[in-house]
């Protein structure tokens, strides 16, 4: 009896009405009561997100001179110095094509970092316009599920895993943010998105795919049959570029060929997401006071 009920509950999460007003009622109402409409650059980003599923900005345009970006750069330089040996070891095995292992990618903070609200990685996610944009896009106070620093190594291996087109499955809507910490050109594996393939978009056709493990993967030619290549959004950009993307839409990235890519990333979902949380939590939880920040940091 329990298993059918669980299956029914899981199915109900796929419908926006029940997802929002049954499973996410409190975060939705709190956002409606407490959050003011976005303005300026943040409003433009939200408009692009709603229409295309992707929006591109910059640290200067969105966060301004008092952002923690410079602090983030210093923290990452310290990590690179401290982890120099680990980075070179990972680089040596980056071309290993074992399925299920993103050997081309190193997470500087480890797979499950300790959630530290005082760290620059958390503060960037919850004390800047990033969180307000995430909340406005989902229409609720969102939950921060992940943050890390990604180092993608240049290899000549065939595309695999997240280097191929795919959708993320953590929630009905998923907002990921990527901030380039180095210049990214075509040779560094820029994030690439198929606009309009998100839930709010107009492209509903599913491309041909193959299964890599249990994940649907699509190659470029098959994606082009659904959305022409000239409509793909290839997010080249200098250090300080900020990318917002609903990764429930089709995307790929990290196919670095000539230079490495280093970037900050974080992810927001609804409270009701059944996704794994990629944090180790301390015994003392952050204070819960009903505002957007406390919603983002708490269970």
Residue 25 burial (CB count, 10 A): 13
The DSSP bridge partners found for residue 106 are 151
Span 2-297 CATH architecture: Sandwich (2.60)
Asked whether residue 283 carries a pLDDT value surpassing 70, the answer given is: no
pLDDT tens string 82-92? 999 999 999 99
Delimit the domains of the chain by residue range.
2-297
- pLDDT for 219 equals 97
Asked whether residue 63 carries a pLDDT value surpassing 60, the answer given is: yes
Of 5-14, 153-162, 182-191, which gets the smallest average pLDDT? 5-14
Q: How confident is the model at residue 276 (pLDDT cuts 50, 70, 90)?
A: confident
CA count, 13 A, side-chain hemisphere, 190: 19
pLDDT tens string 46-60? 999 999 999 999 999
pTM > 0.85: yes or no: yes
Q: How confident is the model at residue 100 (pLDDT cuts 50, 70, 90)?
A: low
| SS3 letters across the chain | CHHHHHHHHHHHCCCHHHHHHCCCHHHHHHHHHHCCCCCHHHHHHHHHHHHHCEEEEEHHHHHCCCCCHHHHHHHHHHHHHHCHHHHHHHHHCCCCCCCCCCCCEEECCCCCCECCCCCHHHHHHHCCHHHHHHHHHHCCCCEEEEEEEEEECCCCCCCCHHHCEECCCCCCCCEEEEEECCCECCCECCCEECCCCCCCCCCCCCCCCEEECCEEEECHHHHHHHCCHHHCEECCECCCEEEEEECCCCEECCCECCCCEEEEEEEEECCCCCCCCCCECCCCCCCCCCCHHHHHHCC
Asked whether residue 259 carries a pLDDT value surpassing 70, the answer given is: yes
């Amino acid at each position: 009896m329990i298993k059918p009920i669980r299956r029914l509950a899981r199915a109900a999460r796929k419908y926006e009405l029940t997802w929002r007003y049954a499973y996410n009622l409190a975060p939705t109402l709190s956002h409606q009561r407490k959050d003011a409409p976005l303005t300026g650059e943040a409003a433009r980003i939200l408009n692009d997100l709603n229409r295309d599923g992707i929006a591109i900005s910059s640290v200067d345009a969105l966060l301004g001179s008092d952002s923690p970006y410079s602090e983030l750069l210093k923290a990452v330089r310290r990590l690179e110095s401290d982890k120099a040996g680990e980075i070179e070891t990972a680089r040596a095995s980056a071309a290993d094509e074992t399925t299920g292992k993103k050997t081309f990618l190193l997470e500087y903070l480890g797979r499950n970092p300790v959630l530290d609200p005082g760290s620059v990685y958390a503060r960037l996610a919850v004390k800047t316009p990033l969180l307000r944009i995430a909340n406005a896009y989902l229409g609720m106070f969102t939950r921060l599920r992940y943050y890390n620093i990604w180092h993608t190594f240049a290899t000549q291996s065939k595309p695999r895993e997240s280097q191929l087109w795919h959708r993320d499955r953590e929630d009905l809507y998923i907002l990921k943010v990527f901030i380039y910490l180095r210049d990214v050109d075509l040779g560094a594996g820029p994030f690439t998105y198929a606009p309009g393939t998100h839930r709010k978009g107009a492209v509903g056709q599913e491309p041909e795919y193959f299964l890599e493990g249990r994940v649907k993967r699509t190659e470029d030619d098959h994606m082009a049959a659904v959305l022409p290549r000239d409509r793909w959004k290839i997010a080249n950009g200098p250090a300080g570029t900020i990318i917002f993307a609903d990764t429930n839409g089709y995307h790929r990235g990290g196919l670095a060929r000539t230079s490495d890519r280093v970037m900050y990333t974080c992810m927001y979902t609804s409270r009701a997401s059944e996704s794994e949380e990629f944090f180790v939590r301390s015994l003392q939880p952050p204070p819960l006071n009903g505002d957007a920040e406390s919603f983002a940091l708490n269970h």
